[in-house]
């Protein structure tokens, strides 16, 4: 009896010893449950990426065709009046009329935060990225001013006693001129600028993975100090960058909705709206497809240009 107990005890000890030596090959442990807030953020970011990461060339095609088709529909059919057909609606008064201001604030914030990260905090490089917003502002101002000048030069008052638009409208008369749609130009200009500037966020996760590479210093022309600075700023600023990215996506949806409203209601003729749309595309082409690709040191550079080369520059 004692020998049996001794034999059983030895087998038990041997089994415990082998359990410690041989790892178990069962199922992998389940990941920790996702927090509701984190899940909601993932969904929101996915939707924002869907809105903003459509190829810019595709957007241009959609906007141009949409403006032409919508204007034709507007001329052929009477679109029922609604709250948005009134120019005094809240979205028009407080968002569209201040549209470039809203776009400038949030896109400039995004460019400043992201370029500070991927330019290793080098202020000279950050300024070259911020200069793009100055160019976009000049384009907006010059074009809107030119539209007003053209309307005054080629127009005429319904009362021949008044030769300029201001005095004509002040007397309650009608001014007949070629009024290029400032709203169509502004909204497409906003949308194309945002589409180009947020491209760096498409590869933002790759930048984070690149910073964890122990051989990064030998693969890129960066110093250990620059890598350390970028790692720190990446971790600290990414939450703020995500927040600004979400706001920009919300603005993009609003601008596209208001572009639709501007097109389908008779605020301007087809020719006036199509002209404005093509001018906005021309501004985008001269800047993002010509000026920023010139690689001249004192001119703005393309979005995402960085010593880390974390995204493809076209």
Give the end-to-end CA distance of the chain in Å, rounded to a whole number.
84
Q: Given this model, what pLDDT does residue 31 score?
A: 56
Contact 95, 258 (CB under 8 A): yes
Q: Write out pLDDT tens, residues 112-137.
A: 999 999 999 999 999 999 999 999 99
Strands 175-176 and 156-157 come out as antiparallel
Is pLDDT above 80 for 267? no
Q: Which pLDDT value is given to residue 18?
A: 47
The DSSP string of the chain is -HHHHHHHHHHHHHHHHHHHHS----PPPPPPPPPHHHHHHHHHHHHHHHHH-S-HHHHHHHHHHHHHHHHHHHHHS-PPP-GGGSTTSHHIIIIITTHHHHHHHHHHHHHHHHHHHHTTT-HHHHHHHHHHHHHHHHHHHHHHHHHHHHHHHH-EESSTT--SHHHHHHTT--EE-----HHHHHHHHHHHHHHHHTHHHHTHHHHHHHHT-TTHHHHSS--HHHHHHHHHHHHHHHHHHHHHHHHHHHHHHHHHHHHHHHHHTTTS-HHHHHHHHHHHHHHHHHHHTTGGGS--TTS---TT--TT--S---
Question: Which residues, other chains included, contact 143 with Cβ-Cβ below 8 Å and sequence gap of 6+?
Answer: 185, 189, 279, 283
Would you state the pLDDT for residue 22?
45
Q: Is the pLDDT of residue 10 over 60?
A: no
- Residue 308 and residue 207 in contact, taking contact as beta carbons nearer than 8 Å: yes
Q: Note the pLDDT of residue 2.
A: 46
Which percentage of the chain shows pLDDT scores above 70?
Answer: 88
Q: What is the pLDDT of residue 79?
A: 79
Summarize the confidence of residues 191-202 as an average pLDDT.
97
pLDDT at 189 over 90: yes
The C-alpha atoms of residue 248 and residue 194 are separated, in whole angstroms, by 7
Cβ contact 279:222 at 8 Å: no
Closest by Cα among 112, 113, 114, 119 to 133:
112
- Phi and psi angles of residue 156, each rounded to the nearest 5 degrees, phi first: -150, 155
**Stretch 203-212: mean pLDDT, rounded?**
94
**Mean pLDDT (whole number) for 70-97:** 86
User: What is the pLDDT, as a whole number, of residue 1?
Assistant: 45
Alpha-carbon distance of 135 to 259, in angstroms, equals 23
User: Does 161 have pLDDT greater than 90?
Assistant: no
pLDDT > 90 in the chain, percent: 63
Instruction: With cut-offs at 50, 70 and 90, classify the pLDDT of residue 197.
Output: very high
pLDDT of residue 121: 92
Distance CA 305, CA 284 (A): 18
For residues 149 and 115, the model is more confident at 115
CB 269 within 8 A of CB 242: no
Q: Which residues make beta-bridge pairs with 131?
A: none
Which pLDDT band, with edges at 50, 70 and 90, does 88 fall under? confident
Q: What is the pTM of this model?
A: 0.86
Mean pLDDT over all residues of the chain?
A: 87
Decide if 255 contacts 190 (C-beta within 8 A): yes
Region of poorest pLDDT, from 62-66, 91-95, 285-289: 91-95
Asked if pLDDT for residue 7 goes beyond 60, the answer is no
In this prediction, residue 174 carries a pLDDT of: 75
- Reply yes or no on whether the pLDDT at 192 is more than 70: yes
* 157: confidence class by pLDDT, cuts 50, 70, 90: confident
Determine the pLDDT at residue 295: 85
Per-residue pLDDT tens over the stretch 218-265: 889 899 999 999 999 999 999 999 999 999 999 999 999 999 999 988
Model confidence at 17: pLDDT above 50 = no
In total, the chain counts a number of residues equal to 314
Q: Give the pLDDT of residue 33.
A: 63
């Amino acid at each position: 009896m004692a020998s049996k107990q001794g034999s059983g005890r030895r087998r038990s000890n041997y089994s415990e010893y082998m359990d410690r030596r041989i790892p178990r090959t069962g199922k992998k442990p389940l990941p920790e449950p996702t927090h509701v807030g984190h899940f909601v953020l993932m969904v929101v970011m996915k939707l924002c990426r869907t809105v903003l990461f459509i190829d810019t060339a595709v957007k241009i095609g959609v906007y141009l065709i949409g403006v032409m088709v919508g204007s034709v529909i507007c001329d052929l059919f009477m679109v029922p009046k609604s709250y948005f057909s009134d120019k005094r609606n809240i979205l028009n008064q407080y968002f569209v009329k201040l549209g470039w201001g809203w776009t400038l604030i949030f896109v400039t914030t995004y460019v400043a935060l992201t370029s500070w990260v991927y330019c290793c905090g080098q202020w000279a490089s950050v300024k070259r990225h911020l200069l793009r917003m100055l160019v976009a502002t000049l384009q907006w101002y010059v074009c809107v001013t030119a539209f007003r000048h053209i309307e005054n030069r080629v127009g005429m008052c319904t009362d021949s006693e008044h030769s300029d638009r201001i005095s004509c409208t002040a007397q309650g008369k009608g001014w007949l001129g070629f009024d290029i749609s400032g709203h169509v130009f502004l909204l497409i200009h906003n949308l194309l600028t945002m589409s180009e500037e947020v491209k760096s966020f498409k590869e933002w996760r790759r930048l984070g993975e690149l910073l964890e590479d122990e051989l990064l210093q030998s693969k890129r022309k960066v110093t250990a100090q620059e890598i350390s600075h970028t790692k720190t700023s990446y971790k600290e600023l990414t939450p703020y960058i995500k927040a600004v990215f979400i706001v920009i996506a919300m603005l993009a949806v609003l601008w596209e909705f208001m572009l639709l409203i501007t097109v389908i209601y008779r605020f301007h003729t087809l020719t006036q709206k199509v002209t404005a749309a093509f001018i906005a595309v021309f501004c985008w082409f001269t800047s993002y497809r010509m000026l920023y690709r010139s690689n001249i040191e004192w001119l703005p550079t393309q979005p995402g240009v960085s010593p880390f080369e974390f995204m493809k520059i076209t």
